[in-house]
Amino acid sequence: MRKLYVFGNGLGRSLSNEEYDLSMALQTAWDDNAVLSNEHKKLIHRCLPEEVLESDITMAPKEEEQLDKLQRVLAACDEIAKVEISGSVGWLNDTGRQFPDAIRRYIHRAATYFHQLNHSLPNEFVTALVESVKDTGSHIATLNYDALLYQSFIGSSLFGNRPSLIDGFQGSFSEENLVRYRPSEQGFYLHLHGSPLYYTSQAGDIKKTSLAGVNGLIGHSSTHLVLAPVQHKAAVISASPLLRNYWAKLGEAMTESDSLVLFGYGGNDIHLNNMIRHYFAGKTVEVVGRNKPEYADDGGFQAATEWNRRLGLSIVRFWVVNRMVDFNSWQWDPNTEAQTSNSSTNFAFS
């Protein structure tokens, strides 16, 4: 079966739950005085919820949902800047004009944090995934900002002379580079929420730096990262030509995929859930999640029921694993295994 694998932050958190927590990235970026001045920190603090406002200026926001007002101020500044005329009286002072860049530098610095962590995926995990993707022409989409999958794929058959995955970069990004000349054998590799590796050059081209070069981009004002509350993500995506193309190709990948595997995804991105509901009605949907103590009471039935409600679909299998990186059932095919008779959900524990 040709599959679409969607990876969330659960992959990294299975290696180090604390280090791959978004709050750690936001605080590390906040503490980088080369990225944010105290003046900009004070302005950002004024855009945060009351529980953060009441804390010390040294405390950063902890989650995407706390960035709601900040995102609205960013959008307002961008809109005002579009109608201001250089050299004439404007609505924004110098600090206001610099504010959008300061926010984007902060977001980029936070995303870069995940590339600086010293972890890698187990060889067994990577080998099984690579073989499955290559054998089936499957697609991979990511929602996180770490380099775990990317660094694992470098040097593998997926990125060889006849690549099994393409991301649209050949020197620079273009929509034409996402055209597949072997569509049955090639899948898309889509960073749906962007990557700190992406940047826009002075000439206006969208480029991708190397893993070793990401630290050289710290302080870059990136428009190719989606670190925002759910209600603002669609707008951030539409503002980036790169991300717009990725989400368009996601629809193409969904159309031709027989099965969807949600791996370590929390399920809170409404724009993604809506697409899943549209493209995977009547298809196979698998959810891979971490084992939790409450599953002992009902085998994870309530969790699977919540997933069914969230997606508006009946998932075929709810995988529960103690460590996400121990998962190895990449080529599971529901057509070769009978389902339970009393439920559309089949549980598997390991």
**In sequence order, what are the residues at sequence separation of 6 or more whose Cβ sits closer than 8 angstroms to the Cβ of residue 269?**
143, 230, 233
pLDDT at 240: 96
pLDDT at 342: 32
Average pLDDT over residues 260-281: 94
Element containing residue 309 per DSSP (H, E): helix 301-311
pLDDT exceeds 80 at position 293: no
pLDDT at 347: 58
Average pLDDT over residues 118-145: 96
- Record the pTM: 0.92
pLDDT exceeds 80 at position 129: yes
- pLDDT, one tens digit per residue, over 173-217 is 999 999 999 999 999 999 999 999 999 999 999 999 999 999 999
7 falls in which pLDDT band (50, 70, 90)? very high
Q: Measured between alpha carbons, how far is residue 308 from residues 13, 147, 253, 297, 317 in Å?
A: 24, 30, 22, 19, 11
Closest to 255 measured CA to CA, from 233, 274, 275: 275
Q: Which CATH code fits 3-18+120-194+240-349?
A: 3.40.50
C-alpha atoms less than 13 angstroms from C-alpha of 215 in its C-beta half-sphere = 4
pLDDT at 346: 54
pLDDT at 160: 82
pLDDT exceeds 90 at position 8: yes
- For the chain, the domains span 3-18+120-194+240-349, 22-115
Lowest mean pLDDT among 69-73, 113-117, 123-127, 343-347: 343-347
pLDDT at 28: 96
Average pLDDT over residues 308-330: 87
- pLDDT, one tens digit per residue, over 51-86 is 776 667 888 999 999 999 999 999 998 888 888 766
**Strongest mean pLDDT among 106-115, 157-166, 312-321:** 106-115
- pLDDT, one tens digit per residue, over 212-256 is 999 999 988 999 999 999 999 999 999 999 999 999 999 999 999
pLDDT higher for 301 or 163?
163
Q: Which amino acid is at 268?
A: N
Element containing residue 50 per DSSP (H, E): helix 50-53
Task: Output the CA torsion 171→175→178→180 (10° steps).
Answer: -120
pLDDT exceeds 60 at position 32: yes
